[in-house]
Structure 1
């Protein structure tokens, strides 16, 4: 439904006052003294008053012939303006009545408002505030009609004209994105976010939530990470950490693109944030660990899950996984005896395996030592090793060295995983609140 400004609607109600009729002056002095106001002829007044009275009473049947008559007679700029106001109000009332509260029906019918709105937007008599509002309304109509490119142009014009409706910015972004311009929509939203922050306000969480999944859908994961980092600075909850990490590594085709070791390091980030949610999270994480030769960490994860109350070892598969991890721990024995052999090895493979085991046990200082030993001998996956070196430093609260290790991670998606860990360090490197 169209909402007129008080000034614009009051102007439509002024036509019954005799004082608003201006008579053309005979000389310059009289011109200077001429009353300011709409110039309406006596001929125009009759249908105009009838239209005004009927519209005020929401009597569409009576308003229709009066509006048509006013349009036919209108000659001066003021008469044309008032006739256009009447037409817009009439069409708005008609659409509202026909829709009978059905929003879908209203959207279908609001096409009838396009021409009256366009006429008023182009009319120099339209007040600036109303021109902004009418432009915004026209942009919304074009959006509802799925004319996204036209909608984006109009909404931007409305914003530039000074319209401040709180729905404008998000609708503009939606219009650009629905029209295929994901990055343009993201840029518009970032502009709005920057303005909110500059004004000392917290940007609405919904603004981030609209952009972030669409960046993921468009495979714009560098931008996805940046937006995720910025959202977490404003809304650093455990729930948000989980949602963003799941979007990044465990949803859609990304779930197939990331390998088990990459997912383990994302799960480690969730664990550090107390953001593992349920049996599915804990169970999958523990399964990845156990099948990677890290039973100590697998058992610790399952123990944490049951202690927290987020999961229960009631299913046979989960009981079997716990038993398998416990058996592997006994079979493998302590890590320390393996360390000497790893240090003596000609390659870095054994050192990295021992470092991974120390990381899983929570012996982060030893993990750092062995990762460095492995890197010094040469490894086939330096990005993976440097990610885990950074994780070990991060979990032992050595922020400077953690940042340095993460900075060495170059290839995708490992550099993006490292960026998530850096975001956690930026927030203090402590578990997020629920």
Structure 2
């Protein structure tokens, strides 16, 4: 429906968070087709019926001037006549794209006492819809809740309750309704608009609700796994306080795995963090890959200086790995094995990393959440997707959040493998 003359040029999607289109069973623009009077059930005065029929004919032909004069001339004396008059006013207002008049007509229809019982829930919804449309959020909530109590509960009612509460600064309640709307949409087999997730992520981010940022971002990525969405989602979450460098590094690794390293800044940040965390060879690989695919030039200053400073140590660390593995095998606890696993992981030698992580967990004395998280990723990159999901599920704290992001990716690899038989790559993709 277009209401441009009044500056209300918004459809149902625009009303509901300015979101993408929502599958609505019947929009307010179709209301005139759904709302029926009861002329066949109760007698109306002949003069009233004649004027009402003239108004209907004028509306049908688009003669708005005549329709208006006929409607103004109606003098209802009973409940049915009041309902018919209000219904004609509704149709006239709808044709003129006048939301204020539509809302008044709906009130008259409901208050007439003659609205068809089966139509009352939908009329209540329409009243709530237009109250929301006009910024009257308290009445919108009341009317839509009334409609839902009467059995009219499609997803658009939930969305209006979500946004009306958010606009009343009741963001927790609004997000609860939005979560219900997502569940309704999925249960109906309909696609959940991407913008619903964006709204929830934005509100959660503004309120520093980092667990909610992660939850909503992961739901969005499960359905809309574009490289751009992966990049923005992971970068947003990296602003969360309390993430240590190792957890942040694994988010950069996921960004790489999803093809979401998009800029020179991304490459610089990933490479610098890898080097800072003791994985100089990984930092070198990141820089060299970015140069080969054009994301970096060979003369770019920051990474050129970093590459020069880490190249010697990277070679020494690789040479020292066999001795590190031997030490891990003889150690009383799993710390050395976990470190060896991390080293192999950083070199993309994932099967070897798996063996060391499993050894570390069997010996104990390690951060099990971190080891399980990386074991899950290494298993996935080695092709064992069920094992990966099982390991990722054994995490806790911030590592559980990191693992949940990786689980989204693992699920997508499983779907791709099932549909196309495509093997999981074992090399990071910048």
Question: Which residue in 2 is equivalent to 1:143?
Answer: 132
Tell whether the 8 Å contact from 2:263 to 2:295 is kept in structure 1 after alignment.
Answer: yes
Query: Is residue 5–residue 129 contact of structure 1 (8 Å, CA) maintained in 2?
Result: no
Task: Give the structure 2 partner of residue 191 of structure 1.
Answer: 183
1:148-202 CA deviation, whole Å, 9 max, x = no partner? 35324434555677879986554343234444214421332133223322xxx44
Q: How does 1:182-261 map to 2 (within 5 A)?
A: 182-197=174-189, 201-217=190-206, 225=214, 227-247=216-236, 249-251=237-239, 254=240, 256-261=241-246
Q: Residues 9 and 321 from structure 1, CA distance in 2 versus in 1: closer, same or farther, beyond 3 angstroms?
A: same
- Structure 2 vs 1, CA of residues 316 and 228 (structure 1 numbering), >3 Å: closer, same or farther? closer
Partner of residue 39, structure 1? 43
- The DSSP-based 3-state class of the residue aligned with 1:59 is helix
Native 8 Å contact 1:279 1:312 kept in 2: no
TM-score normalised by the chain length of structure 2: 0.73
Q: Are positions 1:385 and 2:371 aligned together?
A: yes
Residue 118 of structure 1 pairs with residue 107 of structure 2: yes
Q: Superposed, which structure 2 residues align to 1:196-345 within 5 Å?
A: 196-197=188-189, 201-217=190-206, 225=214, 227-247=216-236, 249-251=237-239, 254=240, 256-332=241-317, 334=319, 335-344=321-330
**Cα distance in 2 for residues equivalent to 1:400 and 1:133:** 47
Question: How many residues are matched?
Answer: 387
Within the alignment, does 1:370 sit opposite 2:356 as a pair? yes
- TM-superposed deviation, 1:288: 0.5
Q: 1:404 to 1:166 in 2, by over 3 A?
A: closer
Following the alignment from structure 1 to structure 2, what is the Cα–Cα distance between the partners of residues 152 and 188? Answer: 16
Task: Tell which deviates more after alignment, 170-179 or 285-294.
Answer: 170-179
Deviation at 1:387, TM superposition (A): 1.7
User: Quick one: distance in 1 between partners of 2:373 and 2:154?
Assistant: 45
Report if aligned partners of 1:189, 1:207 keep a CA contact under 8 Å in 2.
no
Contact 2:182–2:192 (CA<8 Å) still a contact in 1? no
- Cross-structure match for 2:64: 58
CA distance in 2 between partners of 1:233 and 1:189 (Å): 17
Q: CA deviation at 1:292?
A: 1.0
Aligned counterparts of 2:72 and 2:363: Cα–Cα separation in 1: 89
Under a length normalisation based on structure 1, what TM-score does the superposition of the two structures give?
Answer: 0.72
1:116 Cα deviation from its structure 2 partner: 2.6
Report how far residue 79 of structure 1 moved.
1.9
Structure 1 spans left out of the alignment, 5+ residues = 13-19, 21-35, 97-109
Q: Cα distance, 1:286 vs. partner? A: 0.9
Specify the SS of the correspondent of 1:74.
coil
Deviations 1:264-310 (A, max 9, x none): 11122222222322222222111100011101111111222233334
Residues in 2 aligned to 1:40 and 1:365: alpha-carbon distance in whole angstroms: 84
Q: Aligned partners of 2:58 and 2:391: how far apart in 1? A: 75
Q: Which residue of structure 2 lines up, in the alignment, with residue 33 of structure 1? A: none
**RMSD of the TM alignment (CA)?**
4.0
Answer whether contact 1:228 1:244 (CA < 8 A) is retained.
yes
Partners of 1:111 and 1:184 in 2: how far apart?
A: 30
Instruction: Please give the alpha-carbon distance, in whole angstroms, between the structure 1 residues aligned to 2:249 and 2:54.
Output: 75
Larger Rg computed on CA atoms: 1
- Structure 2 gaps, min length 5: 4-27, 415-423
- Using the TM superposition, give the Cα deviation of residue 261 of structure 1 relative to its aligned residue in structure 2, in angstroms: 1.1
- In 1, the alpha carbon distance for the partners of 2:164 and 2:270 equals 39
**2:383 paired residue among 397, 411, 425:** 397
1:383/1:409 contact within 8 Å kept = yes
CA 1:10–1:360: 2 relative to 1, 3 Å = closer
Who is 2:418 aligned against? Answer: none
SS in 2 for 1:416: helix
Paired residue secondary structure (1:257): coil
Given the superposition, is the C-alpha separation of residues 114 and 290 from structure 1 closer, same or farther in structure 2, using an over 3 Å criterion? same
2: CA distance, partners of 1:364 / 1:230: 27
